[in-house]
Amino acid sequence: MTHPLKGIKVLDLSRVLAGPFAGRMLSDLGADVVKLEPPEGDVTRLWGKKVGGISGYYNQQNAGKRNMSIDLRKQPGVDLVKTLVQKADVLIENFRPDVMGRLGLDYETLSAINPRLIMLSISGFGANNPDSRRAAYAPVIHAEIGLIERQSLISQAFPADIAVSVADTNASLHGLIGLLAVLFARETSGLGDHIDLAMVDASVVTNDGMNYALDRVKHIVSNEVYETSAGKLILAGDFKFIWHQLHTFFALEDGLDKSGAPSLEEKITARRAAAAHFFNETCGDRDAVVAALNKMNIAWGDVRKASDVEQLASVQARGTIAQVDDRDGGTRSIPQSPYRFRRHQSSVASGAPHLGEHNREVLEDWLGWSSSDILAVEDALVTQSANGAQGA
């Protein structure tokens, strides 16, 4: 079994999440991904627990990559990127839309050097519009497209950001689809392309409830968490559906005197109380609760801590959490590649690299440079040891 992207060379100039996650997935699929960082490094090198000089957040998004640290504030650094582009298949960046142009690394310049280059640019609001220069992390997009308001309506709480950076990961995954499509098309055309991918576009198209908003229909379906004798469970379906199933399969009644013409609010209150009694008292234990839910064909899930995810049977069976070298003589847990093939392989290759760890190695492998060639660009390169000490 081989990795499907073996032999593909990727320059990853991106930072934080949207770009780095795309690069991580390309690495898992077999591409040689070289992350290019500035001398100060990606800010996520400071996020999470450090083991062997590598933070947890940085490790998750940059595992399997090689690393070069190039100072793009110096012309030799820019020239070196242009030289590497000659050998690259893909370049990923997530600066604001005008930054690459100001560096002299815009698509027009780079495609003239390598017409087969596929450039993926991820930004908050895309290029060439009034919002293009706005700084945009995931929470900004969540707010602007209504996800935070929707969450507030469901929770009946003051607006707060959602607990996962879906705007980043949606952009990353849609970016992957775009560049893989061009990678396929390049086999016929011989030419690369530039993918201008906006987080706002990716998040809007991935929002399955956007149709209600665009049609101006108020439709909030809330999948609720229930206190049960099996613990806290989330049940898939709004309460109206849950009650229908309880009434149909277990003849559950709300106990109201129908002759008194109870109001809708009274009915809902009584039915919720009856449902709570059923799940907490009538069923008795966890096995009985699970059996009842399965009988009603109601999907359910334990509300567990993320740190307990390894207890999930499917996670254990599928090897969803892998172990990589922790750069300190041991191993470290990390999410495994999600792709499972019959005839190909996908897997996290190694832990994340130190800053500039592969400066020399990449120049030798990609460009065939000698020690004297590398010495000539030494001023543009930075290396950092596990203890944080830097040198040329």
Whether 110 and 241 share a structural domain = no
Whether 117 and 257 share a structural domain = no
Structural domain contains residue 218: no
23/61 Cα distance (integer angstroms):
8
CA nearest neighbour of 326 among 15, 49, 13 = 49
Whether 110 and 202 share a structural domain = yes
Contact between 70 and 77 under an 8 Å Cβ cutoff? The reply is yes
Whether 135 and 15 share a structural domain = yes
Whether 171 and 41 share a structural domain = yes
352/34 Cα distance (integer angstroms):
11
Whether 233 and 199 share a structural domain = no
The C-alpha angle 352, 142, 145, rounded to 5 degrees, equals 140
Structural domain contains residue 332: yes
Structural domain contains residue 315: no
Structural domain contains residue 326: yes
Using the 3D structure, point to which of 275, 306, 337 is the last residue of a domain. 306
Whether 192 and 232 share a structural domain = no
**Per-residue tens of pLDDT for the chain, all 392 residues:** 899 999 999 999 999 999 999 999 999 999 999 999 999 999 999 999 999 999 999 999 999 999 999 999 999 999 999 999 999 999 999 999 999 999 999 999 999 999 999 999 999 999 999 989 998 899 999 999 999 998 898 888 999 999 899 999 999 999 999 999 999 999 999 999 999 999 999 999 999 888 888 888 887 777 899 999 999 999 999 899 999 999 999 999 998 887 778 888 999 999 999 999 999 999 989 999 999 999 999 999 999 999 999 999 999 999 999 999 999 999 999 999 999 999 999 999 999 999 999 999 999 999 999 999 999 898 889 876 555 555 55
Whether 290 and 326 share a structural domain = no
Query: How large is the C-alpha radius of gyration of the chain?
Result: 26
CATH number at residue 182: 3.40.50.10540
Whether 203 and 235 share a structural domain = no
Provide the token pair at 224.
């609720």
Provide the token pair at 229.
């004798």
End-to-end CA distance of the chain: 39
Contact between 78 and 106 under an 8 Å Cβ cutoff? The reply is no
State the number of CA atoms in the 13 A half-sphere of 112 facing the CB. Answer: 5
Based on the residue annotation, tell me whether 208 is a catalytic residue of this protein. Answer: no
Q: What is the domain range of residue 299? A: 225-306
Structural domain contains residue 377: yes
Provide the token pair at 332.
């470290």
Whether 28 and 110 share a structural domain = yes
Structural domain contains residue 263: yes
Structural domain contains residue 331: yes
Task: Spot the catalytic one: 168, 285, 325, 379.
Answer: 168
Using the 3D structure, point to which of 251, 279, 306 is the last residue of a domain. 306
pLDDT at res. 102: 94
State the number of CA atoms in the 13 A half-sphere of 361 facing the CB. Answer: 14
Taking CA atoms, 11 is separated from 6, 22, 117, 208, in Å, by 15, 11, 10, 33
Structural domain contains residue 342: yes
Provide the token pair at 310.
């390894």
pLDDT at res. 389: 52
Whether 337 and 268 share a structural domain = no
Whether 367 and 265 share a structural domain = no
Domain count, the chain: 2
157/181 Cα distance (integer angstroms):
42
Using the 3D structure, point to which of 306, 336, 353 is the last residue of a domain. 306
